[in-house]
Amino acid sequence: MTIKLYCFGESGNSYKAALALQLSGLEWEPVFVDFFNGETRSPEYREKVNELGEAPVLVDGDFRISQSGAIQAYVTEKSGKFGGATREENYGVLRWVLWDNHKLSSMAGMTRFLMNFLPEDKRPEQVIAFNQGRLKAAYEILNSHLEGRDWIVGDGITNADLSCCGYLYYPEPFGFDRAEWPNIDAWLTRISEQPGWKHPYDLMPGNPSDRT
């Protein structure tokens, strides 16, 4: 049975799940979530798709789960890919997925939203500046960790990589410039060289140009 992933192109959180599915070789298809017209906030979405009112959501037959980190864990269980090679590495992967969800992706997603998807007259400059400071601290941590390493945990690509890269390929400005972070830059290139890799706007339906 084909796995369904409720997602949309602008969503880096969805991208983390979609990329795990895509690189795993499992059969999957996207189901477009019309986030920009309020679908995730509708009572129907909360009742039938996800009580948390978020994308992504994975549906595999009777099994349904949201949260990109949980979806990645499911993809790992089903495909055998992107986990750590040892118990210690598995905890290392979980540690970085949790760090990403808290310090990197949540901040990057919010800042990108405020800077690009809110009407210009509603963009809160002080909040954006504060978030960019927090993000810079996160880029520093990731860039330092990647010094002398190809992957965040162990010797191969894991969910730690697939989580932390979630927002870092998007073209809309949010204060991240790959050229300023050489280890992150090389690591993003390494991920993009994996067979089957696609940019978020090529992997999932929905693109800012749909709304212009």
Ligand X SMILES: N[C@@H](CCC(=O)N[C@@H](CS)C(=O)NCC(=O)O)C(=O)O
Binding positions for ligand X, rule: CB under 6 A:
11, 13, 40-41, 53-56, 67-69, 101, 109
The answer to whether the beta carbons of residues 207 and 170 sit under 8 Å apart is no
Q: What backbone phi and psi angles, to 5 degrees, belong to 103?
A: -100, -30
Shortest spacing between CB 23 and ligand X, in angstroms: 17
Residue with Cβ nearer ligand X (83 or 109) = 109
CB neighbours of residue 128 within 10 Å: 17
Shortest spacing between CB 156 and ligand X, in angstroms: 22
Cα(8)–Cα(31) distance, rounded to whole angstroms? 8
Residue with Cβ nearer ligand X (155 or 210) = 210
Residue with Cβ nearer ligand X (110 or 188) = 110
Q: What backbone phi and psi angles, to 5 degrees, belong to 28?
A: -150, 160
DSSP-derived secondary structure for 141-191: HHHHHTTT-SSSSTTS--HHHHHHTTTTT--S-SS--GGG-HHHHHHHHHH
Cα(192)–Cα(152) distance, rounded to whole angstroms? 15
Residue with Cβ nearer ligand X (11 or 90) = 11
| Bridging pattern class, strands 28-32 and 3-7 | parallel
Shortest spacing between CB 40 and ligand X, in angstroms: 4
Shortest spacing between CB 81 and ligand X, in angstroms: 19
Please report the sign of the dihedral spanned by the C-alpha atoms of residue 165, residue 167, residue 171, residue 173.
negative
Shortest spacing between CB 82 and ligand X, in angstroms: 15
Residue with Cβ nearer ligand X (54 or 60) = 54
Residue with Cβ nearer ligand X (46 or 183) = 46
Shortest spacing between CB 182 and ligand X, in angstroms: 27
